[in-house]
Chain A
Amino acid sequence: MSEMNQSETMIEVVDLHKRFKDLHVLNGVSTVVKRSEVVAIMGPSGSGKSTFLRCLNRLEEPTSGRIYIEGVDIMAPYIDINRVRTEIGMVFQSFNLFPHLTAIENIKLAPMSVRKISNKEATDRGMALLEKVGLVEKATVYPEQLSGGQQQRVAIARALAMQPQIMFFDEPTSALDPEMIGEVLDVMRNMAKEGMTMMVVSHEMGFIREAADRILFLADGLIVEDGTPDQIFNHSQHERTIEFLGKIL
């Protein structure tokens, strides 16, 4: 993908609001993500990071606002949201592998039942992805027999099997034991290098500093700062950001 036009807009969000009854989680978020950009989303607990990400593929239905994926308004009534979601891979904090299926079956399920590709093709593609995340030997193993890090890598392979244009990561390493975080971040680093467009909710400073092109800093449902890791980490002007970074560093 990297040879494509780097300035092409992948995601455009305009004035996104999300209310849960009386609780205003998002208060008008607007941003643009370009192709192959890696955007980290940071912010204190309850700032709306996860909700923001989940609104972008409408796992949460936004209250108002516009979202354009590759230029298409996905809030429009004629949109088949399931087709939009095939273009956006999502990785969850709690892995959410399907426990009744083996690793390779987890990966094959969506390509076969949504993309309608053959079992053989899906298996080939799945094994290639397992190789990429370093788990070929675990193909026929059920999730409960895998460690957290291995489960998360299978979950990444499962998302990639749909050949998405964009990958969302919702705190992918928060549920992992410390010694397993590295293996998951390595896979994510490789994806970033290959030019995948990524939005990552995470507080892994090392990873963000190294792999992210931009950081969105959210507080109280608003983007309070938007800049490169260097700008945010070293030259932040904003009181909320400085306070937060002071706590986690």
Chain B
Amino acid sequence: MTVSSDARNKFIRTHPAWFSWFRKPPVIIVSLAVLIAYALFLLPDKESALPVWFYFSISFFIVLILAYSGNILADRGKPESLKMGVALMLIAVLCWLFHRYSGAQWHRLADFFFNWKKLEGNWWILWQGLGVTLFLALISGVGSVAVGLLIAVLRTLNSPTMNFFLKIYVDVFRSIPMIVVMVIFFFAMPYVGISLGSIVSTVLALSLGYGAYASECFRAGIESVHSGQLEAARSLGLSRWKTIYKIILPQAIPVVIPPLTSTLVAMLKDTAVASVVAAPELLKRARELYTSETNPTPLVAAALIYLAVLIPLVRAVNMLENRMQKKRNE
């Protein structure tokens, strides 16, 4: 096979690799100098400037610095070390701008955000709150998996009437904010004679709501099983239920686990919403401490505890998803 020289010439580069003038090193260095000059001489002081000029010049500076770093970060020809430096510089400059113009009193940070002395002797309250949070998540988790599985299995029966009502259920609970359901269960239902209490309201709301999400996960998993599997099972004389739990679910569950875990993580986060119905979970207990100590350190501590619990879970979901992806690619 020979390629004609005409055809080959069509594909030969006629311009240098560094085509765009704004990506050339001299331009980048000069514009960096311009930016520094801008920052030093043109940015207004907090007090002195005209409001219009004040906001315009700061916004314009942010646009310029984003364009400058974007120009470098998006260039495939530049080394990663340079890009890392630019990214860190961008974050530093934005922090500096925030520090300069937000009017935050940073010296109070140690007293009010990280004043661990205020928590001495009170940690057990937060741990108790965490215990309630995990308890709520566990019970609601089991509840929502049960609800979700039930709905998904019922939907495999392909009964139009049943599907109609199941779809209404799923749509309603996927559309309504969880906090609204909880508040109605806790504050409104007692007026018609149904007093559920904060824990029961929370568990019920989370189970019903996340059950709707879980049912969608299960349904996707069940639909991923090839219809030929169902036909093979039915042709062997397996009943509908045996087909579901011996053939369909064993194949659907591995597909379902990553999205389902992700849903359950979202549910664990939503247990914090239960603080509005006075369930004694982590956020609620932290707010109580915040009130009694008149210091927001407990809130920061609660945030850190949520992070410590949830980051490993989020990583685990990620790993599960990657493993599933690998399996699918095999």
A96 to B246, CA, bound (A): 15
Is residue B57 contacting chain A, with contact meaning CB distance below 8 A? no
Q: Are A96 and B236 in contact (CB under 8 A)?
A: no
Name the segment of B192-200, B237-245, B313-321 touching the other chain.
B237-245
- Chain B 218-237 interface residues, beta-carbon cutoff 8 Å to A: 226, 228-229, 231-237
A89 to B237, CA, bound (A): 9
Is residue B70 contacting chain A, with contact meaning CB distance below 8 A? no
- Chain B 276-308 interface residues, beta-carbon cutoff 8 Å to A: none
- In the complex, which residues of chain A have a beta carbon less than 8 angstroms from the beta carbon of B232? 90, 92, 96-98, 155
Number of interface residues of A (CB under 8 A): 25
A90 to B237, CA, bound (A): 10
- Chain A 72-111 interface residues, beta-carbon cutoff 8 Å to B: 82-86, 88-90, 92, 94, 96-100, 109-110
A114 to B246, CA, bound (A): 12
Is residue B87 contacting chain A, with contact meaning CB distance below 8 A? no
- In the complex, which residues of chain A have a beta carbon less than 8 angstroms from the beta carbon of B247? 98
Size range of the chain B interface in the assembly? 10 to 19
User: Which of A84, A96, A114 has the most chain B CB atoms inside 10 A of its CB?
Assistant: A96
- In the complex, which residues of chain B have a beta carbon less than 8 angstroms from the beta carbon of A85? 234-237
Interface residues of B (CB under 8 A from A): 226, 228-229, 231-239, 242, 246-247, 250-251
Interface residues of A (CB under 8 A from B): 57, 59, 82-86, 88-90, 92, 94, 96-100, 109-110, 113-114, 155, 158-159, 162
Q: Are A162 and B234 in contact (CB under 8 A)?
A: no
Q: Are A92 and B239 in contact (CB under 8 A)?
A: no
A to B CB contacts below 8 Å, 30 in the list: A57-B235, A59-B231, A59-B234, A59-B235, A82-B237, A82-B238, A84-B237, A85-B234, A85-B235, A85-B237, A88-B235, A90-B231, A90-B235, A92-B232, A96-B226, A96-B228, A96-B229, A96-B231, A97-B232, A98-B232, A98-B233, A100-B251, A109-B236, A110-B236, A110-B237, A113-B246, A114-B236, A114-B242, A159-B236, A162-B237
- In the complex, which residues of chain B have a beta carbon less than 8 angstroms from the beta carbon of A94? 228
- In the complex, which residues of chain B have a beta carbon less than 8 angstroms from the beta carbon of A88? 235
- Chain B min CB distance to A40 (Å): 20
- In the complex, which residues of chain A have a beta carbon less than 8 angstroms from the beta carbon of B246? 109, 113
A117 to B304, CA, bound (A): 57
* CB nearest to B235 among chain A residues: A90
Q: Are A86 and B237 in contact (CB under 8 A)?
A: yes
Q: Are A158 and B236 in contact (CB under 8 A)?
A: yes
- In the complex, which residues of chain A have a beta carbon less than 8 angstroms from the beta carbon of B250? 100
* CB nearest to A106 among chain B residues: B232
A113 to B241, CA, bound (A): 11
- In the complex, which residues of chain B have a beta carbon less than 8 angstroms from the beta carbon of A97? 232
